[in-house]
A and B are shown apart, each in its own frame.
Chain A
Amino acid sequence: METPMQNEKIKIILNYLSNYRQHIPGVFFILVALFIKLVLTKSIEPEALTTFSTNINHTAIQIPNWVFNTRFALDLIAGLCAGLGLYQIIRGFKKGISSIIGAIGGLVVLGFLVWGASGTSISFTGMLAVMVIRSVPITIGALAGILSERAGIVNIAIEGMMIAGAFAGAVIGSILGLWAGILAAILIGALLGLVHAVLSIKYKVDQIISGTMINIFSTGLTSYLFIKFLQDSQNQWLNESGFFKPYAIPLLSKIPVIGPIFFDHNLFIYAMYFLVILLSIALFKTKWGLRHRSVGEHPKAADTLGVNVFRTRYLACVLSGMVAGFGGAYFSLGSVGRFEQTMTAGRGFIALAAMIFGNWNPLGALQAGMLFGFAESLTTKLSLLQFPIPAEVLLMLPYIITMVVLAGVVGRSRGPAADGIPYEKESL
């Protein structure tokens, strides 16, 4: 038997716990503020200046670089963090808490940049331009995921499709030229997509297993071919495709800051913008998109209304493979100009995280892709600033961000209802 005393105690503990949930983030915010104030600011001379340069050579209108007192900026950032923390403890941000946590994250990153660039200058615009470039494979991979998952097929094979696309792009690109390379990458992606479709739709193999199989197969096969043939010095010409050169879009690229960040890139970046817009329209404004999504939400309902569930899902898988293959070509044809073993480095999986984070929406995927792109860009920047953190740890940053983002988002975002469930017609 529990005594009333015990019940009182339990009540107090429960009360404390419910407040505790509100207090934790607040206390954390204030700790962040203290860290910035006490640790970062301490090592800075009072007169030290930080310069964020905003110009890359060829913009028509040069706008002045952004120069400010490091200490003052850090104090400002610390003050903001502390203010948000106090508000959280006293009143509590109700629903907006996730965006506040995001904002705090942004402030911390900004603080580190300000601190790291103290006494020197960093190219703010350049960093963001790199963010856009690095977001390409992640965004395009996420779009591939959206294509198949919106129709109810889980596609974790994006990584494998990408590495296959990168390989096919490099080799065919070396033999027949860059455009042929892209075509080859798309075709190999389509082929793998078809394999995934046949396995998971016709034979109802668990989609995770089918996808994993494709990942292992592609990674293994490309590595084997690379080591066996491409590394041979006589075959070097097979892996010298070169890459698409940046093309500055007239007028748009001349806009200060915005221009160099978004409109002075190569084919793949523009293709990413195009695909995001195309998919947004196709999925939500067209007959095709309505049917595509219906199959991912409630295939039986779609079937009773005369939508061909199997055909829709096959098409979705193949299109997904094509987009993923194209995204894979970015690694060879859009970036380094040759194939290297496991060069996708898990971007296909980060793309899936971006897809979930972007709530299975193309625009959301672009935003999520930019976030992960920023993490990669930041990694590069911080290592250039000779940050007192080992480079290996910095390289982990994008993956850590992936985990944090997924931990925060998964469970709250809602994917297609029939995602990953094979459809079986009832009739005998």
Chain B
Amino acid sequence: MPPILELKGITKRFPGVLANDHIDIKLEKGEILALLGENGAGKTTLMNILYGLYKPDEGEIFINGAKVEISSPIDAIRSGIGMVHQHFMLIPVFTVTENVMLGEEYTRPGGFLDRNKAADRIRELSETYKLNVNPDDLVENLPVGLQQRVEIIKLLFRNADILIMDEPTAVLTPQEVDELFNILKKLVEKGKSIIFITHKLREVMECADRIEVIRSGKVVGATTPAEASPEKLATMMVGREVDLITDKKPGDLRETVLTVDKLCVRDFHSHVVVDDVTFELHGGEILGIAGVQGNGQTELVRALTGLKTPFSGKIIISEKDVSRSSPRRITELGSAHIPEDRQKDGLILASSIAENLVLNTYFHRPFSNGIILERLAIDENANELVRKFDIRTPGIKTLVHSLSGGNQQKVIIAREFSRPIKLLIASQPTRGLDVGSIEYIHSRIIEKRDEGCAVLLVSTELDEIMQLSDRIAVMFRGKIITIVKANAVTKEELGLIMAGVTPTINKKKIENTQAREIIT
């Protein structure tokens, strides 16, 4: 029997990049194939080709042995291919039924929607695959995990046999990930075939039948979870030996640097998004803030950095009340910020590296003299930082938007770390970066801690939190649910807290910790 899906020699070039280089991949019926690769390795490009969003420059696609042309999503749907995109393609103000049937509507004569019939079909599918989706719910009211299942139902509703999941676990809590894996197993049991795109080794080991590793647009190896080990996979993925565990000495606790007292922040619609948050942060320690995206971490950081005025409560940095201070005053007190969205809040993309490197110091000597900028000093500073922080760039006058994500992040780190700081607020510092850059940034953060800097690390990547933090705070619906010592808690327990389950942490576990799990 021919494989259900076969890609032969798929090649795709973007200006200046060879995104896919003669990729050959086979998918057998009823298996979960993991496509493993770093960000930017070309996985998503390949899947977008398969889904008809991109046209390949070369190569052929076969389904059940027959050659097919896929030039639009409709073609893909007709060929039985369905895709769950990394960013969900759901319309928040529509109900589940409306989202599912859009484009494939059940109608009564005259073009009138037959919502009941569609809802019945959704209930039936939900029942068969144990998805627990209610067709009448508004999508915006559903938790992320359920939204993802709505996406899966969308594919099943269209009778898709080949399901592509693009980084499906990026937005999920560990418990939701486990549920997702159960659902995927159920799906293959019933004869569906799944391509699972990810860069997380643990997930590949856990749920895949076979693994194909992609690096710089090429398939560099195929293996199975039984034969592979995380170290081996990481080496294949990155192309060199990778140290998966960052070395960290115990911290050397110093005086309190940051005190947050009963902080409340309201959003634009005056909903409370940070709710009565209180904690202290000392020099020489890393406090990790864990939590699923959208539980108030963004707003907390915006308040701490002066970008948003809190509704009530107090923020004290080095004994100065900065609750209502401007970002510049907070910066001047020795606080550094690595923002969540580096392109939007961290850099001026259309400016040069040299200019971006003095964004928060340009008004000081030696970079300016009165109202005149001292170009020579700025350039000298840039040359030095580019060397010191290993920013890969043709020159200091290069515009920041032409740098890779990792190098852009290095620009921010260079800018923030090159002045004396007492407090570092790092929000999603490694989002979207390759393993090499992650390694680098992690070691820089730990270095700062060892120098006595207080670090607040906000991340939705539990592995990152567990690996770097000395203490971990979990945010859920705007509240800090608990603050624990990093070695006193397991990943599973943290996952439960992140999902809003009240913690009952067994104190005896402190000795017997499994906290150091393998990353990525």
Contacts and interface: CB of A to CB of B under 8 A. Distances in A.
A306 B83 CA distance: 13
A305 B89 contact: yes
B93 interface: yes
Interface stretch (B98-106, B388-396, B434-442, B499-507): B98-106
Nearest to A296: B91
A306 B77 CA distance: 9
Interface string A385-428: 00000000000000000000000000100100100000000111
A271 interface: no
Interface residues of B, number: 36
A306 B312 contact: no
B181 to A, nearest CB: 24
B417 interface: no
A285 to B, nearest CB: 6
Interface string A334-349: 0000000000000000
A287 B53 CA distance: 24
Given A2-B321, A301-B89, A301-B90, A294 B102 contact: yes
A291 B14 CA distance: 32
Interface stretch (B2-10, B107-115, B281-289, B349-357): B107-115
B312 A287 contact: no
B113 A302 contact: no
Interface in A141-191: none
B54 A291 contact: no
B55 interface: yes
Interface in B78-97: 83, 85, 89-94
A340 B231 CA distance: 80
Nearest to A286: B111
B54 to A, nearest CB: 5
Classify chain A: how many residues form its interface, as a range.
20 to 34
Contacts of A285: 112-113
Contacts of A287: 105, 107, 111-113
Contacts of A306: 72-74, 77, 103-104
A303 interface: yes
B113 A304 contact: no
B270 to A, nearest CB: 10
Contacts of B90: 298, 301
Interface string A258-295: 00000000000000000000000000011110110110
A14 interface: yes
Contacts of A304: 51, 53, 73, 83, 85, 89
Nearest to B314: A7
B103 A291 contact: yes
Contacts of A300: 89
Contacts of B102: 290-291, 294, 301-302, 305, 307
A293 to B, nearest CB: 8
A286 B104 CA distance: 13
Contact of B103 (A2, A286, A297, A305): A305
B276 to A, nearest CB: 15
Contacts of A307: 102-103
11 contacts: A287-B105, A290-B98, A294-B102, A297-B91, A297-B92, A297-B93, A298-B92, A306-B74, A306-B104, A417-B92, A426-B54
